[in-house]
Amino acid sequence: MILTTTAEVPGYAVGEILGVVFGNTVRTKNIGKDITAGLKSLVGGELQEYTDMLADARTESYNRMVNSARDLGADAVVNVRFTTSQTMATAAELLAYGTAVKLVPRK
């Protein structure tokens, strides 16, 4: 499966657009990690607990998007994007989305 943030894949043309695919997940840290992160925020610096949480969420949402594209029989997902939003004070959603397509080689 080819995944790209561009609208085209070099050497290929889009033969068929299968539709928009996405994968999302909502994540939160446990209270202990929230307290640790809160204390770290007093002195500044990276909040590693949240960095790790968002990295895991990005991977999961990406994998879910790819699985959605596979279910449609796609060769590629073009125009891949990520977005995140806060769903509550201690939870964040990460969404990966793009357009699932069938590719044909250019001649």
pLDDT tens track for 1-40: 999 999 999 999 999 999 999 999 998 866 555 556 565 5
Helix residue ranges per DSSP H, the chain: 31-43, 48-71
Hey, where are the domains in the chain?
2-105
Find tokens 């977005």 and name the residue: 83
Look up the CATH superfamily of 2-105: Hypothetical protein apc22750. Chain B (3.30.110.70)
Closest CA relative to residue 18, chosen from 95, 102, 106, 103: 102
Mean pLDDT confidence for 70-75: 98
Residue 57: its pLDDT value, please?
A: 92
